[in-house]
Amino acid sequence: MPQKVRIALDAMGGDVGASVVVPGAAMSLARHPDSEFLLVGKRDLIEAELANHPQLKAVSRVIHTDVAVNMEDKPSQALRRGRKTSSMWLAIDAVKKGEADVVVSAGNTGALMAMARFILHTLEGVDRPAIAAVWPTTRGESVVLDLGATIGGDARHLAALAVMGSAMASVLFNLPRPKVGFLNIGTEEIKGHEEIREAGEMLRAANLPQLEYIGFVEGDGIGKGVADVVVTEGYSGNIALKSAEGTARQITELLRAAIGRSWLSQIGYLFARSAFRELRNKLDPKKSNGGVFLGLRGVVVKSHGGMDAEGFAYAVDVGYETVRYDLLTKINQMLNRAGGGLVPDPSAPEAVS
């Protein structure tokens, strides 16, 4: 691997900015010494942080701007106000210009997606992008998408999501042929959502060597890890993610409150500390930090806005791996494989019926 992995970082994104982004990048660099960084934001703030991380400083270049996209801006506002000047825009644009291989931002999700679409455009064969993330399961980890980028979509859209998600799973989990399922509900003979069935038939017919289509997965199948990749359109994907996150938080709070109510339980907690630590580790949201925008001509990784440096470092790791293991090439190969037909060219003339 002679090539360096060049990572552009929006150093004004997130709740804190450079004071999280720079130490986070330093942690990721320690794990992946073949990285280089482009840090976009206020030069003095970034350089003050870099002074504490000489190894990172040696492989970083700073692009100065003092225009930030606010966490509250609507996508259209961000596009208007932050165009060509904001740290978010300039970091994405570095990927477009070929100065970086991937961009990581902890900024406003809607703005990041809008700018990414505007600057990078979608891949051939993909109409609309998706957000994918790693979901911790009982058996390990799975990729789940779309977590909210695009509401609804036809069978072709869902099949493209399946292809992109399994490319991501093969890159992140080193799986030659990830198991892929569509999120669905168990009721029989229901009307609606023919597109899910149709997308399943497309995948089955395509019989791609890079993914194994296993059928439908119900909501409780995600956490069981029945598939390496669970695919759905963005509305229900977002609902699934938020419901699961909310439940996890709710249970943790209930347990903490219950333990706090009796001194016997508090003693028990001390003895069982290692078990609680193991659980926390397993469900640590930091470790699944890093939503990947898929379907664009460039990879954009979104870190959670409230993350600390350690959490941001995981998002940078995700960005690194998408480049090192060539996510984009994998996606393109699968979307446009010779003799394909999985994702037909939308401009092809339709058969006369």
> Binding residues for a copy of itself, per CB under 8 A?
74-76, 109-110, 137-138, 148-149, 151-152, 183, 185-193, 218-224, 232, 234-236, 238-251, 253-255, 258-259, 261-262, 264-265, 267-276, 278-279, 282-283
CB of 218 to a copy of itself, least distance (A): 5
CB of 205 to a copy of itself, least distance (A): 25
Q: Which is nearer to a copy of itself, 97 or 256 (CB)?
A: 256
Residues whose CB falls within 8 Å of the CB of residue 36, separated by 6 or more in sequence, listed in order = 4, 5, 6, 7, 59, 60, 61
- Between CA 248 and CA 256, with CA 254 as vertex, the angle to 5 degrees is 100
Q: Which is nearer to a copy of itself, 193 or 324 (CB)?
A: 193
Q: Which is nearer to a copy of itself, 58 or 254 (CB)?
A: 254
Q: What is the dihedral of CA 304, 333, 125, 218, to 10 degrees?
A: -60
Q: What does each C-alpha distance from 66 to 42, 44, 137, 160, 287 come to in angstroms?
A: 5, 10, 41, 38, 30
Q: Which is nearer to a copy of itself, 94 or 114 (CB)?
A: 114
Q: Which is nearer to a copy of itself, 100 or 149 (CB)?
A: 149
Q: Which is nearer to a copy of itself, 41 or 221 (CB)?
A: 221
CB of 129 to a copy of itself, least distance (A): 13
Where do the H-state alpha helices sit in the chain? 18-31, 43-50, 54-58, 75-82, 87-96, 109-120, 155-173, 194-206, 219-224, 234-260, 263-271, 273-283, 309-324, 327-335
CB of 44 to a copy of itself, least distance (A): 32
Q: What does each C-alpha distance from 305 to 12, 194, 204 come to in angstroms?
A: 11, 36, 38
CB of 269 to a copy of itself, least distance (A): 6
CB of 69 to a copy of itself, least distance (A): 13
CB of 318 to a copy of itself, least distance (A): 21
Q: Which is nearer to a copy of itself, 190 or 338 (CB)?
A: 190
Does residue 129 contact residue 150 with C-beta atoms inside 8 Å?
yes
Residue 18 CA to chain centroid, in angstroms?
21
Does residue 165 contact residue 180 with C-beta atoms inside 8 Å?
yes
